Structure 1
Amino acid sequence: MFHSLILLVAEAATESGGGLFDLDATLPLMAIQFLILVAVLNALFYKPLGKVLDDRDAYIRGTQAEAKERLMKAQELARQFERELADTRREAQTTIATAQAEAEKISAEKVAAAQQEAQTQREQVQAELDQQKAEAMQSLEQQVDALSQQILQKLLGGVSLG
């Protein structure tokens, strides 16, 4: 239909026969054709293209907003994990300090018990040595007495007492 309208207008323009710049109905007809072409191009190409561009822009903005939101959540989680890590480190240091204090206490108790046991054993050995010394002294005294008696008898054996 559009094509036949253009042909009809073209036939009417050629029948009148004009010069180089004939200002008859051709100029307005060309202007109308140009406007119709612009309207058709706008309806067929530019509006869908504009819609696609607008949709793409909206998608990019939505994705960007979502990415910013995720970044904020990730940063908050990172801060939370850092706080929890610091708390855990403090708890670990407290636990280590407590364990060291308990280990030192147990070590001190065991050292004291070992020293006490060593002292007890030393006292027992000293008591045994003193007892053996006393027995040895008593045995020596008996032997000295016996020898003294023998010596006296031998010395006095030649002499009669009376």
Structure 2
Amino acid sequence: MMVQFLILMVTLDKLYFSPLGKFMDERDAAIKEKLSSVKDTSGEVKELEEQAAAVMRAARAEISAALNKMKKETQAELEEKLAVEKKKIEAELQEALGNLENQKEETIKSLDSQIAALSDEIVKKVLPA
């Protein structure tokens, strides 16, 4: 019985346990290799993340510069338009003031003639001829 047990153990060892152990060792080695490659690629991932961050910073700086340029151009254009409109308004104001001055002079002349006519009437009424 002991011999049969030993033969069974040797047979199981050769046919079952040795291939199973070999398979387990190979699988362990493959897992270790994958882990080491993952650790190696984590450095690459960090580099890619840093590159992406650098690209984003550059893009933000470029967009900011473009926005500032656009703001300056728009501001200059608005100031130019404002100056043109201000000149137009000032010209219209001067014209309106000139018209008012002319109307004032005409009114004063009209009043002077009316004052003279009233003075003559008052003198005629007060001093009988």
TM band (smaller chain): 0.7 to 0.9
Asked if 1:144 corresponds to 2:115, the answer is yes
Q: List per-residue Cα deviations over 1:59-100 (Å, max 9, x = no partner).
A: 202321332344233222211210111011101210221122
Q: How many residues of Structure 1 are paired with residues of Structure 2 in the alignment?
A: 128
Q: TM-score, normalised on structure 1?
A: 0.62
Q: Which runs of 5+ in 2 are unaligned?
A: none
Write the distance in 2 (CA, Å) between the matches of 1:47 and 1:155: 153
Q: Which has the higher helix share?
A: 2
Q: TM-score, normalised on structure 2?
A: 0.74
Q: List per-residue Cα deviations over 1:26-74 (Å, max 9, x = no partner).
A: xxxxxxx96x777545422342122112221222023213323442332
Aligned to 2:105: 134
Structural mapping, 1:61-140, within 5 Å:
61-140=32-111
Write the distance in 1 (CA, Å) between the matches of 2:125 and 2:31: 135
Larger CA deviation: 84-93 vs 138-147: 138-147
Write the distance in 2 (CA, Å) between the matches of 1:126 and 1:44: 119
Q: What is the percent sequence identity of the aligned residues?
A: 28
Q: Which structure is higher in RCO with an 8 Å CA cutoff and minimum separation 6?
A: 1
